[in-house]
Chains A and B, each alone.
Chain A
């Protein structure tokens, strides 16, 4: 196959966008839910790394990568529950606790993850959606992991539930005005504990994707800021799970620029293109924030964007 270089890059970026976006998707969905209830969990970077490690270890020991995914979710929800219960105490700052949880999660992951850097664990299989095409590069780009579709289904479900169920109303009320929620007898701390725990579960699953699908191995440099970028991405998606998916795909494409260019032999500025997602995140944050008024559709109790 001799495709023009531009097409090769575009196809590689499409495949990259699907692959790279999945962890962004899960972390940002989790964070979106947590922030909807009025709390910020900056520790999801740590959750992501710990999830990746636990998933790899569980998959290695049981031989079933889906048990790994589940184990990563459980590990993530433990970290989420820790964050949620600590922040439920009076006078505790959720942003600062998030930083601490980030360092703690990464520390624990590196501690227990050391023996798993060498061995090969069974990885998650992919669905070959490129069967109709003759192009090898398109075929490899359309090797899509089931978690990608699970993430989209989850986003639809969360978006629907937030809008249409009693449970969703409770979460939104807690996030918009804790005082009103208390007045009608809702336990604000309990709701936030739940949303942070579920958010942690999702972030853990996102980590499982990193170690079990793409890049598909466990090492200490596996995640460098994806968890944090996902948090920024929630602000950009204006606390809407569906927009989180779109934003995650955009970020995935940005993250895939470097490797895609490398695939046609452009290695110049590899490190610059590696920095592209961070620069994009920062640019988006600058463009969507405002000094004068708080962000559109922001939950009223949120401390992160003023």
Chain B
């Protein structure tokens, strides 16, 4: 059921239970083992980049130009770097929406739906509050909470269905994404449409006064900071608390968890709800820091890129921010690439898909290299 890294370590220990303490310090051994989780994904990125370079050559474009434009558009200047950080904010939060359920052995891909509905909930709640001139801070807090509740419910349902009815969570979460987008469209084009805006069906703008500001001294909105804080908090929750331990046991071995009397159902629903709340918060920031209203632009694909971010980070919350910045830069440079290299805007999608496929293929490499064994490969069986 699960592809969490936890379960994959088990067979090695069963084969040679006495091999571990043979040489070197505990720390050196751990470093050796863990470096595998860094080297192999980086190797996969390299292969994907090489394949993409071949693809560009095949259609007559220069890979060198491509790299140069990604650098300029994503990281090279202070402006582009801040743009990338800004775009990485929703990616961090939607990646968390994949990473937390992954720890309990679920592949949830409903981040896009939770983001859209979370953003919509915030914008809808803002309509009465803004017209009633409610205090800004209170309004924003209420909006954020409602986003998280709606997002949490949306993905939590997938978790509940998984536990209570055995419904495959990957399919149900993606179906709920389509339903969520349809619900938003229903209201945005219907009863909640701002009729004074003839161009694009949207809700009423929340107004400049109620927008979330930038982190002082930067052009990056607060969503980025909250995303990073949440990453640390969820890392602590999943690795340093009883809750996280119970969740990881459930993800590693469901039967063992049941035999131990762990509240498996509650753990699954809780992890799913946390995931949805993160993605819902991403929607809140998209509405209050970027768009200013809810419309179809919310479904910009951040939820799907977030899946890739989480897999690249091996579902480790602490690794998510750097990976999200990397992919945020890639997304941010898309416009420049499109203009300067005359490539379609889907170029970034192709590269992302390629990275994802190669990355998952690289899963097969784990445990094959003696270099990463704690005892230098003597226990190879």
Interface of A with B (CB < 8 Å)?
42, 82, 86, 89-93, 95-97, 99-101, 103-108, 110-111, 114, 224-225, 228-229, 231-232, 235, 269, 271-272, 274-275, 278-279, 281-282, 285-286, 289-292, 294, 303-306
**Residue B291 lies at the interface, judged by CB distance under 8 Å to chain A:** no
**Residue B179 lies at the interface, judged by CB distance under 8 Å to chain A:** yes
CB <8 Å contact, B1 and A306: yes
CB <8 Å contact, B3 and A290: no
B181 → A minimal CB distance (Å): 8
Which single member of B167, B308, B353, B359 contacts A289 (CB below 8 Å)? B167
Interface residues on B, range: 35 or more
A182 → B minimal CB distance (Å): 19
CB <8 Å contact, B344 and A111: yes
CB <8 Å contact, A272 and B363: no
CB <8 Å contact, A92 and B346: no
Which single member of A95, A101, A105, A278 contacts B182 (CB below 8 Å)? A278
Q: Report 28 cross-chain contacts, Cβ distance below 8 Å, ordered by A residue.
A: A82-B357, A86-B357, A91-B363, A93-B363, A96-B3, A96-B360, A97-B357, A97-B360, A99-B107, A99-B170, A100-B357, A101-B357, A103-B308, A103-B353, A107-B353, A111-B350, A228-B171, A271-B182, A275-B179, A275-B183, A282-B172, A289-B167, A291-B166, A292-B166, A304-B171, A305-B166, A306-B1, A306-B166
Taking A99-B109, A100-B356, A306-B1 as given, write out 5 further A-B residue pairs in contact, using a Cβ cutoff of 8 Å, ordered by the A residue number. A107-B346, A228-B171, A232-B171, A269-B186, A275-B178
Query: Quick one: given A103-B308, A225-B174, are A95 and B107 in contact (CB under 8 Å)?
Result: yes
Which single member of B165, B172, B186 contacts A290 (CB below 8 Å)? B165
Contacts of A231 in B (CB 8 A): 171
CB <8 Å contact, A291 and B353: no
Taking CB as reference atom, which chain B residue is nearest A106? B349
Which single member of A224, A269, A305 contacts B168 (CB below 8 Å)? A305
Query: Quick one: given A275-B179, A285-B172, are A89 and B350 in contact (CB under 8 Å)?
Result: no
Contacts of A285 in B (CB 8 A): 161, 167-168, 171-172, 175
Contacts of B107 in A (CB 8 A): 93, 95-96, 99
Per the bound structure, the CA–CA distance linking A232 and B172 in Å amounts to 9
Which single member of A103, A224, A279, A286 contacts B304 (CB below 8 Å)? A103
CB <8 Å contact, B168 and A111: no
Taking CB as reference atom, which chain B residue is nearest A273? B182
**Residue B274 lies at the interface, judged by CB distance under 8 Å to chain A:** no
CB <8 Å contact, A232 and B175: yes
Per the bound structure, the CA–CA distance linking A24 and B177 in Å amounts to 19
**Residue B354 lies at the interface, judged by CB distance under 8 Å to chain A:** yes
Contacts of A290 in B (CB 8 A): 165-166
Per the bound structure, the CA–CA distance linking A115 and B227 in Å amounts to 38
Query: Quick one: given A103-B349, A282-B172, are A289 and B182 in contact (CB under 8 Å)?
Result: no
Per the bound structure, the CA–CA distance linking A291 and B176 in Å amounts to 20
Contacts of B175 in A (CB 8 A): 225, 228-229, 232, 278, 281-282, 285
Q: Mark B174-204, 1 if CB is under 8 A from A, else 0.
A: 1110110011011001100000000000000
A289 → B minimal CB distance (Å): 5
Taking CB as reference atom, which chain A residue is nearest B355? A100
Per the bound structure, the CA–CA distance linking A97 and B358 in Å amounts to 9
Contacts of A97 in B (CB 8 A): 357, 360-361
A interface SS class:
helix
Query: Quick one: given A99-B109, A110-B344, A271-B182, are A104 and B172 in contact (CB under 8 Å)?
Result: no
A216 → B minimal CB distance (Å): 22
Contacts of B43 in A (CB 8 A): none
CB <8 Å contact, B178 and A111: no
Per the bound structure, the CA–CA distance linking A105 and B164 in Å amounts to 33
A102 → B minimal CB distance (Å): 8
Per the bound structure, the CA–CA distance linking A270 and B55 in Å amounts to 41
Q: Which of B331-381 contact A (CB under 8 A)?
A: 343-347, 349-354, 356-357, 359-361, 363-364, 366-367
Per the bound structure, the CA–CA distance linking A135 and B53 in Å amounts to 58
Query: Quick one: given A111-B347, A225-B175, A303-B1, are A286 and B167 in contact (CB under 8 Å)?
Result: yes
Taking CB as reference atom, which chain B residue is nearest A105? B353
CB <8 Å contact, B179 and A271: no
9 closest A-B pairs by beta carbon, nearest first, are A104-B353, A107-B349, A110-B346, A275-B182, A100-B356, A271-B186, A89-B364, A93-B3, A107-B350
Contacts of B176 in A (CB 8 A): 282
Contacts of B164 in A (CB 8 A): 291
Contacts of B364 in A (CB 8 A): 89-92
Q: Mark B1-29, 1 if CB is under 8 A from A, else 0.
A: 10100001000000000000000000000
Which single member of B178, B307, B345, B346 contacts A99 (CB below 8 Å)? B307
Contacts of A107 in B (CB 8 A): 346, 349-353
Taking CB as reference atom, which chain A residue is nearest B183? A275
CB <8 Å contact, A93 and B360: yes
Contacts of A225 in B (CB 8 A): 174-175, 178
Contacts of A282 in B (CB 8 A): 172, 175-176, 179
CB <8 Å contact, A92 and B363: yes
